[in-house]
Each structure stands twice: as structure tokens, then as C-alpha cells.
Amino acid sequence: MKPVARVVSSELWLLFSRYARFCIVGGSGVGVDMAVIWLLADPMMLHWNLTLSKIIAAEVAIFNNFLWNDIWTFRELATERTGGRARLLRLAKFNVICVAGIALSVLLLNVQVSFLNMNVYLANLLSIVAVSIWNFGMTLKFGWGRPSAKGTFG
């Protein structure tokens, strides 16, 4: 294999493996979300308001995902900028990206079902895939992206 092709191949493999880890972490977040909403909203448990329970469950899942992404998915990038302030900034960016992703997912789902007459479950799956790719790209660029010469991320 030519040196350039080997570099491109290794960079693509790194990107793919990082995306796979991101998806595994996202799957763990689904489990956390489900467990928290069950604990808070189930009539046999705390029986809180469903909307409040969902908001709390989503935020706990986002925090779970942030921690795992920080120590596993983007470990090499996170170690370049350590410290409480840097981690808190990554958490804030990750939270904004995830909340925007939820809104994007709802929009995509509704467009596919209402305007394209797609099956709701297929539309939901396509929305999840699209948003996971979007979340990964935005997270990589703005959450754990390398600092540029100007001190911003990109």
C-alpha cells in the first residue's frame, strides 16, 4: 500500500472506530435514560410528572454519555486539555449539541412521517442514524476538537 493511502486508511479507521465507540456510549445512554425515567415516572416508584421525569432522564443520560466519551471515545483529545474548566466547557458544548440533536431528530421524524408518509419506525430509525452522525461530527469538531491557532476549536 502506498504511504498516502496507508495514512488515509488509518485515519478513516480511527474515525470509524471512534464513531463505533460513540454509538456504544450512546447505547449505554439509552439504558440510563430508560432506568431513570422508570425510577422517576413509574407509578410503583416515585410517580413524578412524565415530562419532568423525561427531562431529568435525558440530562442524566447526556451526562453519562459525556463522561464515557471523555474517558473512552475521545480520550486522546481530552487529555490534551485537562482541568476542571476545560472539562466543564466540553460538557456544556456536548449538552447543547445533544439537545439540538433531540430537536433535529423530532423534526426529521415528523417530516418523514407527515410529508413523506414513511412508516414511523423506519422514519425513527433513519432519524436516529442521521442525528447520531450529526452529533458525532459536531461533538468531534466543537466538543473535543483540537484547539486552533486562534484559541478556538475546529
Q: Are residues 112 and 56 in the same domain?
A: no
Domain boundary, last residue among 15, 44, 73: 73
- Torsion angle (degrees, nearest 10) of CA 50, 52, 54, 59: -170
Evaluate whether residue 137 is within a structural domain: yes
Q: Give yes or no: residues 27 and 53 share one domain.
A: yes
Question: What is the domain count for the chain?
Answer: 2
Q: In the predicted model, is pLDDT for residue 132 greater than 70?
A: yes
pLDDT at 55: 92
96 CB-near residues (< 8 Å, 6+ apart): none
pLDDT band at 2 (very low <50, low <70, confident <90, very high): low
- Please work out, in degrees rounded to the nearest 5, the angle formed at the alpha carbon of residue 85 by the alpha carbons of 83 and 89: 120
Quick one: CA dihedral 60, 65, 68, 69, positive or negative?
negative
The whole model's pTM is what?
0.82
Calpha distance 57→61 (Å, rounded): 6
The answer to whether residue 127 is domain-embedded is yes
Which grid cell is 15?
Answer: 474515525
Per-residue pLDDT, 154: 39
